[in-house]
Amino acid sequence: MMPITLIISIPLIAAFIILFLRNDKSVKYISFISSLIVFIISVIMFINFDSSKGFNFTEKYMWIKALNIHYYVGADTLSLLMILLTNFIMPVSILSSYNYIKKDIKKYYIWLLILQSAIIGVFVSLDTFLFYIFWEAMLVPMYFLIGMWGGENRIYATIKFFIYTMAASLLMLAGIIFTYINLKNSGINSFEIFDFYKNTLIGKTQIFVFISFLIAFAVKIPLFPLHTWLPDAHVEAPTAVSVILAGVLLKMGVYGYIRFLIPMFPTLSHQIAPYISAVGVFGVIYASLMAWVQKDIKKLVAYSSVAHMGLIVLGVFSFNPEALSGAILQMINHGISTGGLFLMIGILYERTHTRLMENYGGIFKTVPFIATFFMIVTLSSIAVPSTNGFVGEILIFLGSFKSHRILTILAISGVILGAVYMLMAYEKIFFGKIEKDENKKILDLTIREWLYLIPVVIMIFWIGVFPNIFLSKIQVFVSSFLK
Amino acid sequence: MLSKSFLYSTTFGTLIILILSSFFSLFYWLYSKKKSEAITEIIIFLLLFAFAFSFSHSPFYGSFGDTYTQTVLNNLLTSFVILLTITSIISSSDLMSKNLKYGEYYFLLLISLTSSILLINTQNIFNMFISVELLSMSLYGLTGFNKNDKNLEASFKYFMLGSFASVFMILSLVFLYIGLGSLSLVDIKNSLAISGPNPYINIGMLLFMSGFIFKLALVPMHSWAVDVYWGAPTNVSMFMISGVKLSIVVALYRLFSSYTTSVVIYAMYAFIVLSIVIPNLIALYSKDIKKIIIYSSISHAGYIAISFLGTENWQAYFYAIIYSISVIGVFSVIMFLEKNFKDLNYENIKGLYHSKPSIAISLLIFLFSLSGVPPFSGFFAKFYSFYNAVNGGFKWLVVIAVLTSALSLYYYLKILIPAFMKDAEKRDYEGTVCNYAVIYLTAAATLLLGILSNPIIELIKNSI
């Protein structure tokens, strides 16, 4: 069995089949079914996973002989959790775009499926070159998904997104080449990630490579002050793309830190950790304040996303088991809760075609179910106990307090701000008096929407109450990682 | 002496076929009373024959005192240049039907193809000079072929500046002959290895290389290229940027690698930096699609030259091959657009994706490949080239190169935006089957040759 190749290729095959379909309905069904199959396969992978073995399901074939590049894939706990998150979010976002996308339906699903396969590729590559290919290939579908199905200002947003990420990644390409040449000169002709850990870079070159990796991943996270593309991209993107962007794409930056930057440059990472954590915490506070003053609910959630990611960076750069496990768990939590928030905003937007909070107000009674689900994901996002967000954040703070005391205290104040702006936004939308007549006629959830919201809610409480199913595996990974 | 083995060699045979067909095309046109359009098919058939012939291997030979040597690599490149010519003829087959002077056109085209092949196969500086002159002469004619003002202006500019470059090349021959007494590249290489750099040879080689750098249009010797490639008929520009450029890259690389002194390296370094920075900056402000592609072609010559500086030598060939394929594709798309739009301003191609998705997707593949986004083949070519330069110790050059490729993204994306993201009413587009076929084929090649680059690399590596 080659489960990883299977989950990379199934979306591509589905996209290829869709290319020849003429019926919009079958396009939707096929893309949903393929994403469901991929999800089931990844759940089976999770069940069969042996965390003591390190990398499971490895496959290795020669690809480019001249440079000793391999098609080398495999999954450890971190990869597997990310795959699971991706493949959980994918069917949800495909279901959520059934009504939202009205033009060029076929092409939309083709791009979405190509995106899925590229994302999975990023998380499973164990060859740096292969990783880079997937890392950048993912930008192409994103570019078209935002640029073709986005809002008014979509072209500006998509170009900004593309050039921002691409410029940073191209610098990383130079860094990858430098490292490879360094390895080659010391007798290791290989692009494997594990061999990259053995680099003997020194001096200016080392600092260049380090910074190139640091920035390439920081843009994706996005770390303050490289976050400016994110609010634009989020506001313009269609719902499903926002969900994927917040849910999965932002995690790639942190994934890159854990997979590449820290193991490749342990000393430099430790030296720079206080500064990066400070930048992360500053991002938490800055983004929270920015979110507070937003009128557009989608932009508010986008800024809250920046804040959460800053917290995760703090967790990663604390270098102790609690904080790191918290950060990894929080990556999943953030995917689910922010993804859920974007889903809810999409549901409201489909009905009212506005994202400004002032146009809502008092709709709790008209749409009680929407309001309930919105409340649950909001609570999860502000980390109320018994939801998933709480477990992750408390672990991060427990760990980071050991390493960076003042920063942790500041970060906690950022979390309080988070509760303030999220609850205020909720109040503006759902409570008060109905001032607009059209708001009285908003329809409540349809069956399809129930179908994809229920799993999200289940995940929120499941991780909130029984985090151990994930944490036990994360801890094995973390203890071996920190060695 | 013309040895027996040369007469039996494939290169010789290929050249004979090409020369005979070029004269056939000329005389057929001059003396036949019924001027039939079928000559295009006949020429394609003859070229296919030459292609098949060049593909068959014959034993290694050297003749005219090692002036021409047949290696597997030369054979490979010869067949590839013929293939490029065939595809460009097929792609532009209908453009010519409006202009019934096939005889001259194919004569000039085949003569320039012949001289490109001579250029690829030769090891002697004098022969390089002769072939590049013959090549330029026929290109001057081709550039002004349609005889409208734009063409003639381009042709005249090309002729004036090109002859200026030739003068320097002749001067360099004098210097080289004084310094060494031989014009063979092998002798030059040996003399460098034995007695180190010699001022006469230094000056001579620099002058001769600058002639080739002029023909390759690296900055600051690029200003003719913009006018000529833009002013020439699109099918001629396509041929010039793909096949001709490939042969010039091969010749320049041979010159460079047989005389790699520090002066030459620094000169090349400067040319490369200028060529990858300046055209990319100018293209940002350009609105004409054809002009953007032409500026990008200048910067790509710079990216190809980056791989000259490394320690391995297959990268430059790989880049040139991949690049010329995408050029055939992108110029075929431009030809298609020229048929449907009067003005090639990129804003005009609004809604191309909705009316003609296959062409728009092909354009996307070419532009992403040119800008170096994986998994398209242009990325692999750039990656190998950068890798080679770092291997040769040119780290900061590669940093500049990645930054300029990030810059270049903007103008490639700029073309794609109206084509994909702006709505326009559906309209009909006219195009020919041949044109479409070439576009689809090259798009498929551009998409796949990167991912499947291993066999190509092995082929090139084993043939060097």
Interface of B with A in 95-114 (CB under 8 A): none
Does residue A231 share a domain with residue A282?
Answer: no
Structure tokens at A315: 């967790």
The number of distinct structural domains making up chain B is 1
pLDDT, residue A123, reads 92
Partner B contacted by A171 (CB < 8 A): yes
- Lowest-confidence range among A140-154, A313-327, A427-441, B400-414? A427-441
Q: What is the Cα–Cα distance from A210 to A291, expressed in whole angstroms?
A: 31
The number of distinct structural domains making up chain A is 2
Query: Is residue B384 one of the residues assigned to a domain?
Result: yes
B interface test, pick of A62, A181, A182 with most B CB neighbours within 10 Å = A181
Does residue A313 share a domain with residue A365?
Answer: yes
Count CB atoms within 10 A of the CB of residue A200: 11
Q: Are A126 and A192 in contact (CB under 8 A)?
A: yes
In this prediction, what percent of chain B has a pLDDT beyond 70?
A: 93
Q: What are phi and psi of A346, to 5 degrees?
A: -60, -40
Of B449, B117, B431, nearest to B251 by C-alpha is B117
Of A138, A375, A123, nearest to A245 by C-alpha is A138
Contacts of B168 (CB under 8 A, 6+ apart): B207, B208, B210, B211
Contacts of A25 (CB under 8 A, 6+ apart): none
Count CB atoms within 10 A of the CB of residue A316: 28
Which helix (DSSP H) or strand (DSSP E) does residue B131 occupy? helix B125-143
Partner B contacted by A205 (CB < 8 A): yes
pLDDT band at A148 (very low <50, low <70, confident <90, very high): confident
Structure tokens at A392: 């992750």
Query: Using CA atoms in the order A126, A130, A135, A138, what is the torsion angle rounded to 10 degrees?
Result: -120
pLDDT tens digit string along A58-92? 889 999 888 889 999 998 888 999 999 999 999 99
Does residue A332 share a domain with residue A194?
Answer: no
Is pLDDT above 70 for B65? no
Q: What are phi and psi of A222, to 5 degrees?
A: -95, 140
Q: Are B308 and B258 in contact (CB under 8 A)?
A: no
Q: Are B253 and B308 in contact (CB under 8 A)?
A: yes
B409–A205: do the CB atoms touch at under 8 Å?
Answer: no
The arithmetic mean of pLDDT across residues B291-312, rounded, is 92
As for the ipTM of the complex, it is 0.91
Partner A contacted by B458 (CB < 8 A): yes
Query: Is residue B458 one of the residues assigned to a domain?
Result: yes
Contacts of B226 (CB under 8 A, 6+ apart): B291, B294, B295, B298
The neighbouring-strand residues paired with A69 are: A64
Of B411, B197, B393, nearest to B286 by C-alpha is B411
Which residue type does B105 have?
Y
Q: What is the Cα–Cα distance from B265 to B399, expressed in whole angstroms?
A: 18
Q: What are phi and psi of A62, to 5 degrees?
A: -65, 135
Partner A contacted by B410 (CB < 8 A): yes
Domain boundary among A246, A278, A313: A246
Is pLDDT above 70 for B3? no
Residue B347 DSSP label:
G
Interface of B with A in 416-445 (CB under 8 A): 417, 420-421
Give the nearest partner residue to A133 out of B357, B368, B374, using CB atoms: B374
**Beta strand pairing status for A69-75 and A56-64?**
antiparallel
Does residue A226 share a domain with residue A283?
Answer: no
Does residue A284 share a domain with residue A238?
Answer: no
pLDDT tens digit string along A284-309? 999 999 988 988 888 899 999 889 99
Which one has a higher pLDDT value, A258 or B100?
A258
Helices and strands counted in chain B (H then E): 21, 2
Query: Is residue B270 one of the residues assigned to a domain?
Result: yes
Give the nearest partner residue to A64 out of B374, B405, B453, using CB atoms: B453
pLDDT, residue B66, reads 64
Does residue A242 share a domain with residue A280?
Answer: no
Q: Are B369 and B377 in contact (CB under 8 A)?
A: yes
Burial class (CB in 10 A: 0-12, 13-18, 19+), B148: exposed
Does residue A122 share a domain with residue A9?
Answer: yes
Range of the domain at A83: 1-246
pLDDT tens digit string along A215-227? 999 998 888 888 8
pLDDT, residue B199, reads 86
Q: Are A476 and A56 in contact (CB under 8 A)?
A: no
Rg (CA), chain B: 21
Query: Is residue B109 one of the residues assigned to a domain?
Result: no
pLDDT, residue B2, reads 46
Does residue A116 share a domain with residue A53?
Answer: yes
B413–A167: do the CB atoms touch at under 8 Å?
Answer: no
Domain boundary among A217, A246, A275: A246
In this prediction, what percent of chain B has a pLDDT beyond 90?
A: 38
Does residue A297 share a domain with residue A157?
Answer: no
Partner B contacted by A154 (CB < 8 A): yes
Q: Distance, in angstroms, between B265 CA and closest chain A CA?
A: 21
Does residue A270 share a domain with residue A147?
Answer: no
Of B68, B91, B84, B79, nearest to B12 by C-alpha is B68
The arithmetic mean of pLDDT across residues B404-412, rounded, is 90
Helices and strands counted in chain A (H then E): 21, 2
Of A366, A362, A370, nearest to A446 by C-alpha is A370
A interface test, pick of B284, B390, B403 with most A CB neighbours within 10 Å = B390
Give residue B394's region: left, alpha or beta (phi > 0; psi -120 to 50): beta
Of B295, B305, B445, nearest to B378 by C-alpha is B445
pLDDT band at B97 (very low <50, low <70, confident <90, very high): low
Query: Is residue B391 one of the residues assigned to a domain?
Result: yes
Query: Is residue A254 one of the residues assigned to a domain?
Result: no
SS3 state at A372: helix
The length of chain A is: 483
A217-245 burial, b for 16+ CB within 10 Å, e for fewer? bbbbbbbbebbebbbbbbbbbbbbbbbbb
Range of the domain at B356: 261-464
pLDDT band at B99 (very low <50, low <70, confident <90, very high): low
Partner A contacted by B399 (CB < 8 A): yes
pLDDT band at B252 (very low <50, low <70, confident <90, very high): very high
Question: Can you spell out the DSSP letters for A142-210?
Answer: HHHHHHHHS-TTHHHHHHHHHHHHHHHHHHHHHHHHHHHHHHHHTT----BHHHHTT----HHHHHHHH
Partner A contacted by B403 (CB < 8 A): yes
pLDDT band at B133 (very low <50, low <70, confident <90, very high): very high
Contacts of A1 (CB under 8 A, 6+ apart): none
Q: Are B385 and B315 in contact (CB under 8 A)?
A: yes
Query: Is residue B431 one of the residues assigned to a domain?
Result: yes
B390–A177: do the CB atoms touch at under 8 Å?
Answer: yes
Partner B contacted by A166 (CB < 8 A): yes
Q: What is the Cα–Cα distance from A203 to A225, expressed in whole angstroms?
A: 26
Burial class (CB in 10 A: 0-12, 13-18, 19+), B97: exposed
- Lowest-confidence range among A65-74, B43-52, B421-430? B421-430
Q: How many CB pairs under 8 A join A and B?
A: 89
pLDDT tens digit string along B306-332? 999 988 889 999 999 999 999 999 999
Which one has a higher pLDDT value, B7 or A387?
A387
Does residue A242 share a domain with residue A277?
Answer: no
pLDDT tens digit string along B269-286? 999 999 999 999 999 998
The arithmetic mean of pLDDT across residues B446-456, rounded, is 90
Query: Is residue B375 one of the residues assigned to a domain?
Result: yes
The arithmetic mean of pLDDT across residues B35-46, rounded, is 79
pLDDT, residue B363, reads 93
Give the nearest partner residue to B421 out of A64, A139, A148, using CB atoms: A148
Q: What is the Cα–Cα distance from A135 to A125, expressed in whole angstroms?
A: 10
Q: Among all residues of chain A, which has the CA nearest to that of B402?
A: A170
Is pLDDT above 80 for B70? no
Which residue type does A259 have?
R
- Lowest-confidence range among A302-316, B19-33, B51-65, B240-254? B51-65
Taking all residues of chain B, what is their mean pLDDT, rounded to a whole number? 86
pLDDT tens digit string along A406-465? 888 888 888 888 888 989 888 888 888 877 777 778 888 888 888 888 999 998 999 888
Partner B contacted by A177 (CB < 8 A): yes
Q: Are B105 and B96 in contact (CB under 8 A)?
A: yes
A177–B399: do the CB atoms touch at under 8 Å?
Answer: no
The arithmetic mean of pLDDT across residues B430-441, rounded, is 89
pLDDT, residue A104, reads 82
Which helix (DSSP H) or strand (DSSP E) does residue A94 occupy? helix A77-96
Taking all residues of chain A, what is their mean pLDDT, rounded to a whole number? 88
A181–B387: do the CB atoms touch at under 8 Å?
Answer: yes
Query: Is residue B435 one of the residues assigned to a domain?
Result: yes
SS3 state at A61: strand
Query: Is residue A376 one of the residues assigned to a domain?
Result: yes
Q: What are phi and psi of B124, to 5 degrees?
A: -125, 135
Q: Are A61 and A126 in contact (CB under 8 A)?
A: no
Query: Is residue A259 one of the residues assigned to a domain?
Result: no
Using a CB-CB distance cutoff of 8 angstroms, which residues of chain A are in contact with residue B375? 133, 137
SS3 state at A434: coil
Does residue A159 share a domain with residue A29?
Answer: yes
A148–B399: do the CB atoms touch at under 8 Å?
Answer: no
B132-145 burial, b for 16+ CB within 10 Å, e for fewer? bbbbbbbbbbbbbb
Is pLDDT above 70 for B59? no
Contacts of A260 (CB under 8 A, 6+ apart): A128, A193, A196, A213, A217
